[in-house]
Structure 1
Amino acid sequence: MRVVLNAKAGTVGDLGADRIRKTVDDALTRHDLDVEVIVAEGEDLMRAIATAPRDACDTVVVGAGDGTVSYAASVFANTDTVLGVLPLGTMNMLAYDIGLPRDLAGALEALHRARPMRVDLGTVNGRPFHGVSGVGFFSQMALAREQLRNQRGRIIGWLQALGRALLRSGRFSLEVEVAGAREPIEAYAALVTVNAFDAPGWHRSRLDGGLLEVLVAEDRGTLARLKTGADVLIDSWRGKPGIHAFQARRVTIHARRRRAWVATDGEVHREQLPLRYAIAPGALNLLVPPQALQWRRYAIEDVT
C-alpha cells in the first residue's frame, strides 16, 4: 500500500511530516501488508499517485481534497488498483459518502478494516470524475471558494462565496439532451452527479446505481437564486419549484457558447461545449469500511 498525503493539508501541517508518517504506518501496516507513506505537494504529489502501480503497489490511499482524489480515480479507472481515501481536504465528498470519520484516527481505523468495492465513476468529455460536475452558478461558487480558501470559518467562507457567485453568474440558454430528446431551459446553473445525492446531508444512498442525475435550476431572478443557494446549504433543495431533474446513463448539455467554466469535484476548468457526460459503472475499485456497506444496504432498502 502506498499512502500519499498532501503536504499542504491542515492535519499534516499540525502533526508534522515525520509524525504523520509514523501515525499512518502504525495504523495501516499488517502482517500481510507493507505500507509506504509519502508526504508531497504539487507535481510530486500527482507523480506519487500515478507511479504507484508501476512500483507494484496494489492499493493507493490518497489524503487530500476532492480534486486530488478525482485525479487518482481517473488514473485508476478501469484497473485493478484499489483506491482508498483519507478526508484531509475541505469537502471530502467521497470519504463522507462511504462513512469515514472526519478525524484522522477514526478514518485510519475505518480504513484498516475496509474492503474493496466496485463503484461508479462519471466522465465529462471523456475525463473521469467521482462526484459532481457543474456549470453556471456552481462553477462560479467553486471559483469563489478557491479565491476564499484561507477564509476563517467554513460557513462564513461559504456565504461569501455565495455572494460572489450570485453577482458573477447570469442566465444562459441550454438544452439538456437525454436519449436523443432535447429540453431547452433558461437556466443559471446545471449540476451533474454520479448517482443521485438522495440521502440526508448531501450523501448518496448508493455509489453503484449506474445512473447520472442532472439538476438544472431555472433563472427566476436574484431572490430565487439566493433562496436556492440557501436551500442547498441546508439540504432542502430537492423538488423545489424551478429545479428540473433528469436521470440517465448519458447526458449532453448544449449551450450557445463554445467554452464554459466547469467545476468538477472541486476543480475548475474551461471545457469545450457541448458537455458530454456518461456513467462508467463499476469503473473504480474503492476501499469501503464494513459499516458503510451495512448503512448503504439499509439506505437502499429505504429508498426502494
Structure 2
Amino acid sequence: MRVVLNAKAGTVHDMGPDKVRDIVDEALTRPDLDVDVVVAEGDAMASAIASAPHEGYDTVVVGAGDGTVSYAASVFANTDVTLGVLPLGTMNLLAYDIGLPRDLMGALEALHDAKPMRVDLGTLNGRPFHGVSGVGFFSQMAMAREQLRDRGRAFGWFMALGRAVFRSGRMSLEVEVAGARESIDAYAALVTVNAFDASGWHRSRLDGGQLEVLVAEDRGTLARLRTGAEVLVDAWRGAPGIHSFSARRVTIHARRRRAWVATDGEVTRESLPLRYALAPAALSLLVPPSAQQWQAHEREVHERDDVT
C-alpha cells in the first residue's frame, strides 16, 4: 500500500509531517501488508499517485481534498488498483459519504477494516469523476469558496453562498436524456454519480448504475438564495423549481460555447455541450463494512446468490 498525503493539509501542517507519517504507517501496517507513506504537494503528489501501480503498489490511499481524490480515481479507473481515502481536504465529500470519521485516528481505524468494493464513476467529456459536477451556481460556489478558504469553514461558506447567488446568471439549458430534450431557464445544474438520496449528503448506493441530474429553475434572486441555503443543509431535494432526471447518459446544452464547471471541487472551463456518462463499477474503492453503501451492496449480492 502507498499512502500519499498532501503536505499542505491542515492536519499535516499542525501535527508535522514526520509525526503524521509515523501515525499512518503504524495504523495501517499489518503482517501481510507493507505501507509506504509519502508526504508531498503539487506535481510531486500527483506523480506519487500515478507512479504507484508501476512500482508494484496495488492499493493507494490518498489523504487530500476531493480534487486530488478525483484525480486518483481517474488514474485508477478500469484497473485493479484499489483507492482508499483519508479526509484531509476542505470538503472530503467521498470520505464522509462512506462514513469515515473526521478525525485522523478515527478515519485510520475505519480504513484499517475497509474492504475493496467496485463503485461507479461518472465521466464529463470523457474524464472520470467520483461524485458531483455542477454548472452555474455550483461552479460559482466552488470558486467563491476557494477564494474565501482562509475565512473559516462556516463563515466562509456563508460568504461564498452570497457571492455565488449574485454571480449566478440565468442560463437557457436543454437537458438531453435518451434523445429527448427538455428546455429549462435555470441558474444551476448538478450531475451526481448515483443519487445523494440519504441524509447528510450521502448516497445510499455507490453502485446503483445511474447518474442523477438536478436542475434549479431560475425564479429570481430570493429563490436562488433560499435554494442555495437549502443545498448547504441538504434540504433542497423536492423543493419547488427543482427538475430531476436519471439516466446513464446525459447531455447539457446551452447557448454558449464554454462554461465554468465545478467537478469534485475543482473548477475548469469546459466546452459545451457537457456530455456526461456513467462508468459502471469502474473503480475499486476501500469502503468500511459499516458504511450503508457496503451493506446495500452485500444485500444485493446475497439476494443474487439466493436466486442463483
The answer for the alignment partner of 1:49 in structure 2 is 49
Q: Which consecutive residues of structure 2, in runs of 5 or more, have no partner in the other structure?
A: 301-308
Question: Cα offset for 1:299?
Answer: 12
Are 1:230 and 2:236 counterparts?
no
CA contact (8 A) 1:213 1:246 kept: yes
Distance 2:57 2:293 in 1: 28
Residue equivalent to 2:239: 240
Q: One-letter code of the match for 2:112?
A: H
Residue in 2 aligned with 1:255?
254
Which residue of structure 2 lines up, in the alignment, with residue 9 of structure 1?
9
Q: In 2, are the aligned partners of 1:205 and 1:299 still within 8 Å (CA)?
A: no
| Aligned counterparts of 1:294 and 1:262: Cα–Cα separation in 2 | 27
Cα separation, 1, equivalents of 2:163 and 2:271: 24
How far apart in 2 are the matches of 1:294 and 1:275? 28
Q: Is the 8 A contact 2:114 2:289 kept in 1?
A: yes
Alignment root-mean-square deviation, CA = 1.4
Measured in 2, the distance between the counterparts of 1:217 and 1:18 equals 46
Residue matched to 1:62: 62
Q: Secondary structure at the match of 1:185?
A: strand
- Residue 298 of structure 1 and its aligned partner are, at CA, apart by 9.9
Q: 1:12 to 1:196 in 2, by over 3 A?
A: same
**How far is the alpha carbon of 1:292 from its aligned partner?**
1.1
- The letter of the residue matching 1:80 is D
Is there any run of 5+ residues in structure 1 with no aligned partner, and where?
none
Distance change in 2, residues 1:101/1:239 (3 Å): same
Decide whether aligned partners of structure 1 residues 120 and 295 sit closer, same or farther in structure 2, where only a CA change above 3 A counts.
closer
AA matched with 2:91: M
Alignment of 1:260-279 (within 5 A): 260-279=259-278
Amino acid at match of 1:230: A
Do the aligned partners of 1:205 and 1:300 also contact (CA within 8 Å) in 2?
no
- 1:159 and 2:173 equivalent? no
The answer to whether the 8 A contact 1:137-1:166 is kept is yes
> Is the aligned partner of 1:289 residue 2:307?
no
Identity of aligned residues (%): 79
Name the amino acid aligned to 1:82. T
- Looking at structure 2, the residues matched to 193 and 21 of structure 1 have their Cα atoms a distance apart, in angstroms, of 33
* Equivalent-residue separation in structure 1 for 2:255 and 2:29 (angstroms): 54
Cα distance in 2 between the residues matched to 1:295 and 1:282 = 13
> Secondary structure of the equivalent of 1:128?
strand
Letter in 2 for 1:110: A
2:188 counterpart of 1:175: no
Deviations 1:222-263 (A, max 9, x none): 000011011112211111110000000000000001100000
Q: Look up the match of 2:33.
A: 33
The answer as to whether partners of 2:207 and 2:297 remain within 8 angstroms in 1 is no
Would you say the 8 A contact 2:98–2:293 is kept in 1? no
The alpha-carbon deviation at position 295 of structure 1 amounts to: 6.8
**Structure 2 CA distance, aligned partners of 1:128 and 1:97?**
18
Q: Aligned AA for 1:216?
A: V
Deviation at 1:297, TM superposition (A): 2.8
- Relative distance call for 1:159 and 1:230 in structure 2 (3 A) is same
Q: Which segments of structure 1 move beyond 6 Å, counting only runs of 4 or more?
A: 298-301
Does the 8 Å CA contact 1:64/1:89 hold for their aligned counterparts? yes
1-side partners of 2:165 and 2:298: how far apart? 34
Residues 205 and 296, structure 1, Cα contact 8 Å, conserved in 2: no
CA distance in 1, matches of 2:185, 2:299: 34
Tell me what 1:117 maps to.
Answer: 117
Q: 1:300 to 1:196 in 2, by over 3 A?
A: farther
Distance 1:73 1:241, change over 3 A: same
Alignment CA distance shift 1:260-1:299 (3 Å) = farther
How far off is 1:296 after superposition?
Answer: 4.1
SS at match of 1:291: coil
Partners of 2:287 and 2:294 within 8 A in 1:
no
Partner of 2:78: 78
- Measured in 2, the distance between the counterparts of 1:298 and 1:83 equals 18
Q: Indicate if the aligned counterparts of 1:206 and 1:300 stay in contact, CA closer than 8 A.
A: no
Q: Structure 1 residues 299, 158: CA separation in 2 closer, same or farther (over 3 Å shift)?
A: farther
- Report if the CA contact (8 A) 1:2-1:36 is conserved: yes
Distance 1:300 1:217 in 2: 34
* In 2, Cα distance between equivalents of 1:290 and 1:218: 39
Partner of 2:148: 148
Inter-CA distance 243–291: structure 2 relative to 1 (3 Å threshold): same
